[in-house]
Amino acid sequence: MDDLSLEKIEISGSILASMIQRASSSPSDVDGLIFGQIHRIVSSNLSDDSPADSFSSSSSSDQIVATVTSFACSGKTVSFYDPLGRVNSRRVDSLRVDSPDRLIGWFSARRKTANRPSMRESAVTSSLSSQFHLPIEDSQNPKSTNMASSVFFLLTTPSTDQCIHTHEYRAYQFRSSKQRLEPRSVGVVNIGPAFRGHYGSFIPKSGFPPLVCELDSSAMVVDRDEGSLGAKKQAAKDQKEIDALAEGLQVGDLKRLVGAEAASFTGGIEDMYERMLAKIQSLASDVETSSAFVFQQEKHNRKLRNRVARIGR
């Protein structure tokens, strides 16, 4: 019973990022141990299409999932095993961290190599799985089943130089009956194990909540000392023209974008934005024209200053 197949291997986003950062910041290739738990998950599929046949249409399946909770990096290679791939249990104990979880496998990070296990990595995983076993957590069955510590993570970088520095990672399970590493899917969990069941596969059926749209008066406060009087008058004029385009539309009406009135209300909003964009384009054209005029005036003034400087000599 110690050669059960894992359905997938889960790891949190922070642990995976920390593992990649540790590998990329090291001056050379590294390896290390990974810790975690193995759970047996019983998933039930119930159908409520016909209440009379709900029990007959239900089904359940067992899934064994390995969860990585921490890791220990040695900072080098061949840290807890010899060049032939034989694991030294005393070196493993020296690498262990103060983690409540147990050893479930190890990882190897190397640069500019193919993303597939080497013969030595297979030998290390085989030796590790034969020496360390851990129970499978099963809430429905108090009698736990032991399973070999056989999870292996491989991190590599592309073999060719790239502008963007990237890392590739794959997870494997060593099957002692077949004496080989089999790839397993990796689930990156970012919300914690307590909420994992809520984000499997579901279809939301509740509508959007009502939008609370309140106009913040503090955002409309303008510094009285900012800019010149002419600029203030022009800005007030432009703002008045834009406000005229949005006349009759209140901020609180934006909640009508969600609900039964959305189809009829969206057309008016789009028309208002088209007119606003036309006004903004006109203002941008005026700014461009005035900037060109200012540039020509500066050029003319420069010529006059040069002429005056020559006369003064």
**Does pLDDT of 57 surpass 60?**
no
**In sequence order, which residues have a C-beta less than 8 Å from that of residue 157 and are 6 or more positions away?**
110, 111, 112, 113, 165, 166, 167, 168
Tens-digit pLDDT profile for residues 204-259: 444 545 555 554 444 444 444 444 566 667 767 777 776 766 666 666 666 666 65
Q: CA 69, 74, 79: angle at the middle one, nearest 5?
A: 120
Rounded to an integer, what distance in angstroms lies between the CA atom of residue 212 and that of residue 215?
10
Fold of 8-199: Cytidine Deaminase; domain 2 (3.40.140)
What pLDDT is stored for residue 124 in this prediction? 93
**Does pLDDT of 262 surpass 70?**
no
DSSP the chain: ---PPPSEEEEEHHHHHHHHHHHHHSSS-EEEEEEEEEEEEEEEE---SSGGGTTTT-EEEEEEEEEEEEEEE-SSSSSSB-TT--B-HHHHHHH--S-SSEEEEEEEEESSS-SS--HHHHHHHHHHHHH-EEEPB-SS-SSPPEEE--EEEEEE--SS--SS---EEEEEEEETTTTEEEEE-EEEE-S-GGGGGGGSS----S-PPPP-----GGGG---TTSS-HHHHHHHHHHHHHHHHHTTT--GGGGGGGSSTTHHHHHHHHHHHHHHHHHHHHHHHHHHHHHHHHHHHHHHHHHHHHHHHHHHH-
Tens-digit pLDDT profile for residues 32-45: 999 988 888 766 55
What pLDDT is stored for residue 221 in this prediction? 45
Selected residue with higher pLDDT from 213 and 156: 156
Mean pLDDT of all residues in 280-296 = 85
Query: 57 forms bridges with which residues in the sheet?
Result: none
Q: How confident is the model at residue 55 (pLDDT cuts 50, 70, 90)?
A: very low
